[in-house]
Structure 1
Amino acid sequence: MNIGIIGGSDGLGKTLIYYFRDEFDVYITGRDHKKGRSVADELNVSYIESNAGLANISDMLIISVPIEHTCDVIREVAPFMKEGSVMVDVTSVKEGPARTMGEVLPDTIEYIPTHPIFGPRTTRLDNQVIVLTPEKKGEWYDKVYKYLKSKNMRVIETTAQKHDFMMSIVQVLTHFSFISTASAIEKLKVDISETEDYESPIYNLMIDMIARIVSQNPYLTYNIQSMNINGPKIRNTFTEAAIELRDAINSKDEEKFIEIAINATKHMGDITNALGRSDKAIGALNYEYSILFESIGKEIGLKHIYSGKIHTGILESVDGKTAVLRNGTKTKKLRIANIRIMLDKELYQWKIENWNRKTESISCMFPKNVHVETIQKTVMNISNIIDIKLTDAYNGPQIDENSISLTFEVTAFSKEDIENVKKLFTGFGGVIR
């Protein structure tokens, strides 16, 4: 099946390539042809310069362009889509695209207005939310629905109108309030890094969430605000609520303030669950820092959560934001927010797949009653040992009658690791030959 992505060289369109390229033939277009061809080469998909040409060969055509251009692109490519294909858009606003598809597409072309509730930084589809707003369901709809469920996604079916209202709360209100808070901090000329000396875990999480929102493409954020038909009501209500709260405090109206706070709390729903989820988030952050501090001076593996790159070495130091790894004579600073600690088994398996190995035969005289299996099991408990095999056992004329010479083939990640095995042998009463 051919999947075409208009706008596949940037943002969510580019992210979709990663999800589709192993199962389907993926073709993309982009505004900048040089960049588009570079992305296509990098991700091993095909680049086409013409949106119309892409529409003509695609079984599924995905529109992933800025919201303000979506309806224009739908009109542009509609006449060129092949019979029996399907059009999907992935914008944050659904009423406009749904209406346009219904107006310009013939009955032989199915369309599914869609909104993935995740951004370009998302690395897995598991448990991610995706909203489908079909005006009618054809053969493609069932296939798409089953495919999304097979990826363990949370699929919501609703109308374009209901979607846009819910997103006016989830996106418009949230973005507006977060950007307002960030703007107030800027106007107050507060040094955010200085506040970290006083921060609580909740403040830390809040600042991270605000930073995540304000760092998004401001053109996209503006279009989410301006193109959702419910936006004016949402922003006006937020502003009225802020003014009401301000006036209650400024006039020292304690009763009014408490009334507002209690009514707001009651309307938040399951507070117990909210406390549980936030406690989990705080606990996870604290636990990660604890593990890092306990690992100082030890070998550790850290995986970048976005690039997937693995960094290994001796953990030299940890502060509030960074971890410093030493690998030989080189040190590297890593932002703790962008990494996760690898489990011991995970790091061991990665080493086996990526590191060179050292193999050496070690001959050692042991007391005749030594237990070979105990030696082997103990050696395998040493860090960075891959394998140990008994290759020879000898008690000929040159060996004392109360001793036996055992030769083991030891495979490890480094010469130093093999030297540690020799030290263990001598600890068992052995004499290296």
Structure 2
Amino acid sequence: MNVGILGGTKGLGKSIAIFLKKEGFSVTITGRDEVQGNQTAKEIGVSYSKDNKKIANLSDILIISVPIGTIESVIKEIADSTKEGSVIIDVASVKEKPAEIMEKYLKNNVEFIPTHPIFGPRTQSLNGQVMVLTPIKKGKWYKKLIKFLKSHNTRIVETEPKEHDDMMAIVQILTHYTYISTAYAIKKLGVNIKQTRKFASPIYNLMVDMIARIVSQNPILTYSIQKENENGEHVREVFLESAKEIEKALKRNDKDKFTEIAISATKNMDDIQDALGRSDKAIASQTHELALLKNSINNEIVVKHIYSNEIHCGILKEMDPEYIVLERGKRSTKLKIANIKVLNESEIQEWKKANYPNEKYNLSCIFPLSSNADIIKLAIESMNDIITVEIVETWINPQIPKNMLGITFKIETFNKNSIKEVETFLKGFGAEIYGK
């Protein structure tokens, strides 16, 4: 199926192109900068065209991922060129205006679905992410989109364009405005953020990370989000009025007024216990991996770089608050802790299966006659570096003592030393090694 992404050379459009390419779609991206377009297409393995009309005519699914201010001109440009029976999906962060434009200009034989992915271009999976859908009409493509999103465990929110924009005035406009204001105030105070972290709790560090995530986004996009939503000005005015009211109470030493504001704000924060629980989990996730790393010094670990997806395996030799050093043979690799994920045992097993040479061994043992071969097989399978275990045969013959049972296993592993570990383990079951 052909997918065209107008504005797919960078940002969210590029991320969508990468994702849909992996899903097996034939993807073509467009963009005004031909050099960047060809570079991006080569980098992610898709096609590039500078002709929006041509791609609109060829695409079964056409995704519009352009700046909010240019949506109307882009839709006007491609309106008469869209493929009959296709679907147009926009991913802008405001929905009233794009919905009105598409309803006005697109042909009747084309379905359109105004959408808003509530995540940024750094997100690598739809799992658990929120997708807001604001359909004016629901056709065959809408049902297909719902099915696709559910198959990826996406949280789907269906609403009207106006309600979407009302909610985004809080979720995006107010949040971005306060975060950028906080970051700018810290800058004007001349404070070194890295230095503050030495004195901070996990909550502060988490907050600073969230602020950094917002302020590092494309400022043109952030500006558009502030300006294009009609609710923006009112929300910003209320925020400034609230801050002035709090400041006024502090300057007047009015403890009662400050307390009144704080309590009324708290009461409006929905279920506080749930909020505390979620924030506790966020803090625990920060500290858990650090503890895991500290306990792994001088042991082998396997980590994944969360942006490049590159896997690093080695002995953890050094660790400080920001970096770890892995050694593999004579090679040392320094990695930033914030950019890695420590793989768990099952993930390590899967990676080793795909990247280590596998070897098979036959191992014959004799056990007490009452032993259960299936239980022993399961026990061997649970050991590190063991891929598969088969029971080749069970046997009794005059060459082994009476009341003893012979069992031959075929063991597949990617670490030949693990066979010795299996032998030691089986001896603990009362086994005698009969042959290999």
For the superposition of Structure 1 and Structure 2, which TM-score range results when normalised by the shorter chain? Answer: 0.7 to 0.9
Letter in 1 for 2:9: S
**TM-score computed with the length of structure 2 as normaliser:** 0.85
The runs of 4+ residues in structure 1 deviating greater than 6 Å are 358-363, 373-382, 387-391, 407-411, 415-430
Letter in 2 for 1:355: Y
Q: What is the number of equivalent residue pairs in this alignment?
A: 430
Residue equivalent to 1:12: 12
* 1:278 lines up with 2:279 in the alignment: yes
* 1:342 lines up with 2:343 in the alignment: yes
Q: CA deviation at 1:107?
A: 2.0
Sequence identity (%): 50
Secondary structure of the 2:54 match is helix
Letter in 2 for 1:6: L
* 1:229 lines up with 2:230 in the alignment: yes
Distance in 2 (alpha carbons) for counterparts of 1:141 and 1:36: 29
Secondary structure of the 1:111 match is strand
**Equivalence map 1:69-108=2 (5 Å):** 69-108=70-109
Secondary structure of the 1:320 match is coil
Residue equivalent to 2:2: 2
Letter in 2 for 1:73: V
Distance in 2 (alpha carbons) for counterparts of 1:193 and 1:129: 32
Distance in 1 (alpha carbons) for counterparts of 2:215 and 2:419: 52
Cα separation, partners in 2 of 1:158 and 1:410, compared to 1, 3 Å: closer
**RMSD in angstroms over aligned alpha carbons?**
3.6
Cα separation, partners in 2 of 1:188 and 1:387, compared to 1, 3 Å: same
Q: CA deviation at 1:264?
A: 0.3
**Equivalence map 1:14-33=2 (5 Å):** 14-21=14-21, 22-33=23-34
Residue equivalent to 2:322: 321
Q: CA deviation at 1:104?
A: 1.3
Residue equivalent to 2:249: 248
Cα separation, partners in 2 of 1:61 and 1:287, compared to 1, 3 Å: same
Distance in 1 (alpha carbons) for counterparts of 2:414 and 2:111: 57
**Equivalence map 1:387-426=2 (5 Å):** 413=414
Residue equivalent to 2:396: none
Q: CA deviation at 1:319?
A: 2.1
Q: CA deviation at 1:51?
A: 0.3
Distance in 1 (alpha carbons) for counterparts of 2:414 and 2:84: 58
**Equivalence map 1:39-188=2 (5 Å):** 39-188=40-189
Q: CA deviation at 1:426?
A: 12
Cα separation, partners in 2 of 1:281 and 1:375, compared to 1, 3 Å: closer
Q: CA deviation at 1:164?
A: 0.9
Cα separation, partners in 2 of 1:331 and 1:251, compared to 1, 3 Å: same
Distance in 1 (alpha carbons) for counterparts of 2:242 and 2:378: 68
Structure 1 range deviating more: 166-175 or 240-249: 240-249
Secondary structure of the 2:304 match is strand
Q: CA deviation at 1:350?
A: 1.3
Secondary structure of the 2:334 match is strand
1:340-385 C-alpha deviation (Å, 9 max, x unpaired): 221123212311210235779999xx9xxxx9x9999998777546
Secondary structure of the 1:323 match is strand
Distance in 1 (alpha carbons) for counterparts of 2:382 and 2:29: 51
Gaps of 5+ in 1: 392-406
1:17-75 C-alpha deviation (Å, 9 max, x unpaired): 23323343222212222332233333333222200101111122111111121111111
Q: CA deviation at 1:387?
A: 7.4
1:385-432 C-alpha deviation (Å, 9 max, x unpaired): 6679999xxxxxxxxxxxxxxx999876567767878999999999x9
Distance in 1 (alpha carbons) for counterparts of 2:247 and 2:300: 53
